[in-house]
Structure formats: C-alpha cells, structure tokens
Amino acid sequence: MSLFLLLPSIPPFLTVAATERLYSLTLSSSTIGYTQLQSSAMASEARFWFAALLLLVTCLSAMAKQTYIVQMNHHSKPSSYATHHDWYSAHLQSLSSTEDSLLYTYTTAYHGFAASLDSEQAELLRQSDSVLGVYEDTLYTLHTTRTPEFLGLEIESGLWAGHSTQDLNQASNDVIVGVLDTGVWPESKSFDDAGMPEIPTRWRGQCESGSDFAPSFCNKKLIGARSFSKGFHMASGGSFMRKSKEAESPRDRDGHGTHTSSTAAGSHVANASLLGYATGTARGMAPHARVAAYKVCWSTGCFGSDILAGMDRAIVDGVDVLSLSLGGGASPYYHDTIAIGAFTAMERGIFVSCSAGNSGPSKASLANTAPWIMTVGAGTLDRDFPAYALLGNKKRFTGVSLYSGTGMGNKPVQLVYNKGSNSSSNLCLPASLQPEHVRGKVVVCDRGINARVEKGGVVRAAGGIGMILANTAASGEELVADSHLLPAVAVGMRVGDLIREYAQHDSNPTALISFGGTVLNVRPSPVVAAFSSRGPNLVTPQILKPDVIGPGVNILAGWSESIGPTGLEEDTRKSQFNIMSGTSMSCPHISGLAALLKAAHPDWSPSAIKSALMTTAYTQDNTKSPLRDAADGSFSNPWAHGSGHVEPQKALSPGLVYDISTDDYVAFLCSLDYTLEHVQAIVKKPNVTCSRKYSDPGQLNYPSFSVVFGNKRVVRYSRELTNVGAAGSIYRVAVTGPQMVRIAVKPTRLVFKNVGEKQKYTVTFVANKGADKTARSEFGSIVWQNPQHQVKSPIAFAWTQLID
C-alpha cells in the first residue's frame, strides 16, 4: 500500500501537483522506505525532508485503513434502530468514520459487518460490549469428461441404486448448486438450458448486470450470477469506491469458476476436448441441476469479507449445495469465516463442500476442517495423456503432457540441465536461463517454486525448443499434465533423476520428445494425488479429515474464452474446455454428487448426505490393491484419503447413516476450549449456555474415528446409526486395527425393525500396556455389514498430538 504525503510546507519537488517528483512512502508491516528520486541533485535536501517526515509517516501508518470483519452480538441491537445495517452504521459514525467505511452488512451466514478501519478504530470497536470480535480480513486462495464414467454415473436408462434415471433427473431440476469462485463464462455450452423446466419458484437469486455481463446471459440452467469485490478493492487500491481495472461483474476472466461450476452441474456437451485431448461428452455430476455463480475471487485472491458476503447472499437466495474450491490455513472455528458461514448453511439444510487444499504431501496441511463441512481431497482418474522422452543413450521414458502443437519432429536435439551461471536456472525461473546455453535445445527444468507452464514459457523465451519437467522429492512420482506452449513432458522424480544424471555427465546428451494422445483404463487408479492436503486435523485432532477423495487430476471441464489454457499472458489460444488439476477440481465433483443425493432423498440432512458418501467410499483401486499415494508409491492411509474414494451408486443407498443435528454440533463446540462468546459467535444464538457438551470432541456422531490417546490408555466413543434401508435390516460388526490396540464394540449386532429407526453402539479403544508411544499413527476400520450393505468407518490412532 502506498501513501502519498501532500503537505503545503514541503518543497515543491515533494508534491504531486507541482512536478510529480515524489516519494512513494511504502508502508509494509513496520518497514518504511522510499522508492525513487527523479532528480539526483535534490537527493541531499530530499533525504533531510524524508528524515523529518519519517516520524509523521510512522504516526500516519497506524491510521492506514484496511478491511476488518466485525462480529456483533446480533441480538443486542437496540430497538431504536430499524435494521442491523442502521445499527452498524451508527457504530462506525461514532468512530468519526467516513460514510463509505461500511463495506458489507452480514445477516445470515455471519452476524456483523465488514468495514474500512484504521487500527485505532478497530481497537475502539473491540472495547464495545456489543462487539464479539474484530478480525483483519483474510486472504484465501483457489485450490486450483471421463469423470462420469469413472464414477459410474453414465447410465441414461434403467435403475440407479433403486432410483430410475428419469425420476432422478427430474428431481435434480429442483436442486440448486451455488458455486463461490471466480465467476462464470455464461456462453459456455455447459450452461445450455435446452429441455430444462421453469426455475423453481422458491429461488430468490438474480443475475447482476455489469460492463461485460447482462442479466439476459442467465437462463434456466445458470439461474444466478452475482459478484462481491469490496474487500478485494480495499486490499488492492485502498478504497472500494475506486474504479478497478477488473470489471465488476460475475464474468469469469480466470477460468477457474467456469471449470468448477461445470464440473458440479454442467449440461451434456458432445465432442468436448482440450485442443484434441480427452475428446468425448463432457457433463457435470448433476447435469440436470441448476447453477448459481457467486464471484468472490479476483486477480489477487479471495478475501474473507467478499466470501462471507457471497455465502450470506447464497443462503438467502435459496441454494441447496454450496461449493467452495478455496481455503486458507488452519484456524479456530470462531476465527474461520468459511466455517462460520457454513454453520448457518448446514443449519438451514444446505450441504457445504470445500477443497482440502493443495499443500500435500506434507502432514497436517489441511484447510476447511470444520466437521459440518465436507472436506475433499484429490485422486487420479483412469485416463492419462502420455508423452515420451527418448534420450541419446536409447532409453525411453514415459511422462505426461497436453501439448497440442506441431512438435519437435523426428530429430533429437541437444539436452541441457543447469548450464547457466544463475543458480536458479535448474528451476527455470523467469530470466534465469541464458539464451546462448539453451537456444535450439531441450531443457531439463526441476519442478517447484514457479508454475509448471511458466517454466515452459521461460524456456521458449530463451530460445529453447522443448522441456522435460522433472519432479523432485517434494512432488515424488505425481504426474500432472499441462497444455504447454512448447513441446514438453512431465516426469516423476525417479525418471527425473536418471535424466538429470544423463544430461550432466554424458559427453553429448540429446533428447527427442513425442506425444501419445489420450489413453483410457489406466491401472492402477485411482491414486491419491501428491498435492492433496493431508491430516491429521490440527484444529480438532479428534475429527478425522479429509472426509473423502474425488477425481482431481487432469479434469476436463468448461473454460473461460477470455484466457488461454495455461493462464499465461502470452498464451493466445482459445478453448471452450480445459484440463486442470487440484482439490479445486475434486470439490465440485462431491458438490454435484451431493446434489444428486439431495434430489433422491430431499428429506436427508447435510450430515446424512455426507455420511452416505463417506461410509460407502472405497479404498481399493482397479487392481484390487489398497489405494496408493502418488507422492512415493506407498499405500495411502485415511490421513490422505479419509474414508476413501467416493462411489455414487452405493451412496444413493447406504443402508445406514450417521446423522448429526445442529444441537449435536453445538455440544461439540462446547467441548472445545472456547469461551461461551466464541461458541455463540459460530452458532449465532444468544441462548446457548453449553449446558450439554461432550466429554471429548470425538463423541460427535461422526462417520469416522480419530483416536488420540495422549496420556490415556482407554478411549470410549458412542455412535448412533439411522436406518435408511429396508425395515427388518440386521447388521453385524467387523473390526480391523493395529496389534497394539484392542477394539471392542457393543453390541456386535444391530437390528432395525423400522425405516428411520435409530440404534446406538459403543466402541472402546484400549492401547496395550508398554505400547511404543513413539509410534505416531496407526489405522483401522469399523464396518457394519449385511448382504446388501457395508457401512464402513475408518479409524486413525495417534499416541500424541505432536506432529513430526
């Protein structure tokens, strides 16, 4: 943020109006500096004035305004104020704040407002009895057509887990999926409304107009489009009133939002592909559901104040599912704007799905861990895009690529790696390659630091004609295909090490890159993506996260035609579809599946839908082997894949579900080390007293278990199952676990005479005496089964809450 000081007693060369010779006093944390003098002759006098102004600037820096989110005691509004908005405005005016300080008033997802304040004003608000908390705005980041077949959804006729496809499609017409992201490209064929009935009368949303967006762009498929940018403007320009370079409209200039929206509920589009790759029919998980887009993410990211405004509006508009492919770091729930907004959504019957994050394979790297949120990790599909690197030593290595140009031809060229004097040349960072060393050659680039596609741009700018993108230990064997601007292939760490060794030690290393198109039925699949964030859950270790994984690697979906497939400025190619990877892609898969379950079971709660998706998930790949981890090829575990990979057909008829009421979630919150005010801030009810609370947060009726022994040898939890299958169903329990833990379930047999009947069981976990407490984690499962259903819950064991 830059502050230009205009004081009449300062010499003319320091004023903007006189000569535009000025200092830009940059305030960043506690550092104050000046950028440039336009006249060196004035340097001595300028330094004197700079020193004299330094004290003044230090004082003014404390007054520099930024966005704060203010949490109010909603029920303390005096009757003299007609609305909460009036009350909040009065609070700000009492601080001598300007009229434009109030950015947003939140009434549903959150109780409070967002405002432009200086630090002193924020502190004065904290001292008010009616203010529960004042928090600086948080920056969140995006977690950036074979899928339906892979998930078993491509069935156009007949029965689907007891539901006719026609009935399910018709019921889906009444389900509305709200997507908070970078907006939408309404012209995409994925939002074609052919054959769609009239919009549900309960819908209260709308399509906003903008310089590049008209309400007429919406239809019976895309039924809502709004944008929220005041937090973004405050952070980037110092005033939400200032005109931005970005058009204030729901239009997607990034592509991410169109991709996630069409993944969740896009219509059928024949002959879809990315420049010839992955050709086929593209469709969302719930192709007959409606879509409402809420643009909360802009060029610099997604600000909490804008996200809250989007959630607030989406809940009032009447969405049934909220999909958020974005997140930040782990923080207490009362300080997590997404968690607070999602609590209200859950209470109103709205299913909330969020991406787990792309910070894997590091442990404890999860985002969006609240138990009322579906936290989604990422796995691979059984589709790949092979590319090959043939070296001069006759060795041929396989990788992946989405390059679609003319290629290198058939003649090998020289291969180089880390030949420049710049120490960052092995990473192919901008301006790190010397043209004389790479011109006309294939360059080996280590993965990491900058974007994969940017590395190819750096190579091309330096005159290189091809790139081998080689993983390091951080990415292991995970392969992500990209639509590079030059012939390029991505390879895993082991192959990368062999190629690096060859390039550095052979007297005349050469390489030739070629491409293999699209390959189906890849084995093994799915594999947990290395980038997918992992547990354990640092916010509440007794809640196992992530919940599930879904397809998140090399996913084809709709795209914005205002930007090329790579997102780079120099990429002038246009495509109606793009292939992307990330938990951003897996999240809308689960959002769309939740819409299908909502259509099939309109009376199910969000927790029942979540339970159905979790307890029917599978943990074996298509080779009948346990799921593997792309990071190192080892077997995966519930800290990486949660309950497993979603299986929609089984989720439609799970047999039993673990249901959780709002009161249960309140009892869970009361079991944490939160003040009553913190709990009330999340629950948004003044009469919460925490008279009912769990002795352990793990007592929540969650579909999975996370057992933290700590200083105890015995942990005992109770669970309650609800029969959503046939009357007269009988289930027996099967248990697996590590040798150092004894697991006892009582009773071992559950009989459900009626549909909707509830039965409880208790499970006791006993760590053996003398068990090695240095063992950080072990895993197991509890399965309630009969000939028709298997209701499976994973278990994670930890002997300490410390993470290595």
Side chain identity at 749, as an amino acid letter? R
| 767 phi/psi in degrees, rounded to 5 | -80, 130
- Beta carbons within 10 angstroms of residue 78's beta carbon: 9
658 within 8 A of 607, measured Cβ to Cβ = yes
Choice among 233, 256, 268, 589 that is catalytic = 256
| Helices and strands counted in the chain (H then E) | 19, 44
Among the listed residues 703, 629, 588, 470, the one whose alpha carbon sits nearest the alpha carbon of residue 143: 588
CA separation for the pair 562, 22 (Å, rounded): 37
Alpha helices in 320-380 (DSSP H): 337-347
Among the listed residues 572, 577, 566, the one whose alpha carbon sits nearest the alpha carbon of residue 456: 566
Structure tokens at 419: 């030949």
Residue 259 among the catalytic residues: no
730-768 burial string, b = 16+ CB within 10 Å, else e? ebebeeebbebbebebeeeebebeeeeeebebebebbbe
Side chain identity at 782, as an amino acid letter? I
CA separation for the pair 448, 53 (Å, rounded): 42
CA separation for the pair 150, 521 (Å, rounded): 9
What angle do the packed helices 256-265 and 583-600 form, to 10 degrees? Answer: 30
Residue 384 among the catalytic residues: no
Q: What's the farthest any 2 CA atoms get from each other in the chain?
A: 94
Choice among 584, 704, 781, 793 that is catalytic = 584
Residue 181 among the catalytic residues: yes
Residues 6+ positions from 522 with CB-CB distance below 8 Å? 380, 381, 382, 383, 384
Among the listed residues 322, 423, 393, 391, the one whose alpha carbon sits nearest the alpha carbon of residue 108: 322
Residues 6+ positions from 323 with CB-CB distance below 8 Å? 177, 178, 179, 180, 181, 260, 264, 353, 354, 587, 588, 591
Q: Helix, strand, or coil here: 63? A: helix
| 798 phi/psi in degrees, rounded to 5 | -140, 140
Query: Which residue is associated with the tokens 């949660």?
Result: 642
CA separation for the pair 648, 168 (Å, rounded): 13
Distances (CA, A) of 163 to 159, 589, 730: 5, 20, 23
Q: How much is the CA Rg of the chain, to the nearest whole Å?
A: 28
Structure tokens at 253: 């200039």
Choice among 118, 174, 181, 252 that is catalytic = 181
- Beta carbons within 10 angstroms of residue 702's beta carbon: 25
Provide the annotated active-site residues.
181, 256, 584
